[in-house]
Amino acid sequence: GINAEYMGKVKSMESLLWVIFRDFLFFLLGYYVVRGGIVGIDWLVMRRMNKLRKKVLLLVFGSGGHTGEMISMLEHHDFKKYSRLIFVRSEDDYNSESRVYNFLDSKGDKIDFSKIDWIRIPRSRQVKQSYFTSIFTTLYSILVTYFKLLLNAKVDVAIVNGPGVCVPVVYSLLLNKLLLINISTKIVYVETFSRVRRLSLSGKLLYYIVDRFVVHWPELAKAYPRARYYGQLI
């Protein structure tokens, strides 16, 4: 009796969350239509303007070793070709910002720090958090992340790697694509270096929806057809 009652509450909660999420999508779609975003001539004008402007790059820094991996991959990256840089970290990550600035200083490229915007988002899942409760924290993180990204410039290229903090970012960018707000965003996911034979949970969640899925080991590329192996990038 207790288990049946508990499962009934869980199903009711899941139904409520689905209704909220569905209505949220309809609200965004209606808002965008009212603004005149889905109009042929406006779309063509914006497309021409996008070709002329410099690009916007988004990077996700997942704290600890994940931030270290991202920094290593960006060692020879040219940041000057972007008009804006959007860096994302979790709200409780207090080390990544200083590490990133130290890295950029060491590159000697004289990057204009004023074009860097940091977005701080809630974690979708804490260490040792149950998968059931992480459903709700992930939904909350997606909502917060989406609105924070919506207030920023349109993202042209997003590069993310293994940590869970990248999941709400990718889903938010995907939602912008589905709503035709920014269909040109290219999302590149790089699996964490420690994954040799099996994907991480983040990799499994994002495998089919990113534009390019990159791995560090040939064994992973053989096991997952959509994965691309370019050698070890760090």
Q: What is the pLDDT of residue 38?
A: 42
Instruction: For residue range 147-192, list pLDDT tens digits in order.
Output: 888 777 689 999 999 778 899 999 999 998 888 888 889 999 999 9
Q: Convert the pLDDT of each residue in 170-180 to its tens digit.
A: 999 999 888 88
Q: What is the pLDDT of residue 40?
A: 42
Q: How confident is the model at residue 61 (pLDDT cuts 50, 70, 90)?
A: very high
Residue 91's identity, in one-letter code, is E
Rounded to 5°, the CA angle 206-138-158 comes to 40
Does the pTM of the predicted model rise above 0.85? no
| Among 105, 58, 47, 118, CA closest to 83 | 58
pLDDT at 132 over 60: yes
DSSP states of the chain: -HHHHHHHHHHHHHHHHHHHHHHHHHHHHHHHHHTT-S-HHHHHHHHHHHHHSPEEEEEE--SHHHHHHHHHHTTT--GGGEEEEEEEEETT--SHHHHHHHHHHHHTS---GGGEEEEEE--SS-TT--HHHHHHHHHHHHHHHHHHHHTSPPPSEEEEESSTTHHHHHHHHHHHHHTTS-TT-EEEEE--TT-SSS--HHHHHHTTTSSEEEESSHHHHHH-TTEEE-S---
pLDDT bucket at 99, cuts 50 / 70 / 90: very high
Output the pLDDT for position 36.
46
Query: pLDDT tens digits, residue range 35-59?
Result: 444 444 444 444 544 554 579 999 9
Average pLDDT along the chain: 81
pLDDT digits (tens, 9 = 90+) for 106-127: 887 778 888 999 999 998 777 7
Contact partners, residue 104, CB within 8 Å, separation at least 6:
79, 111, 113
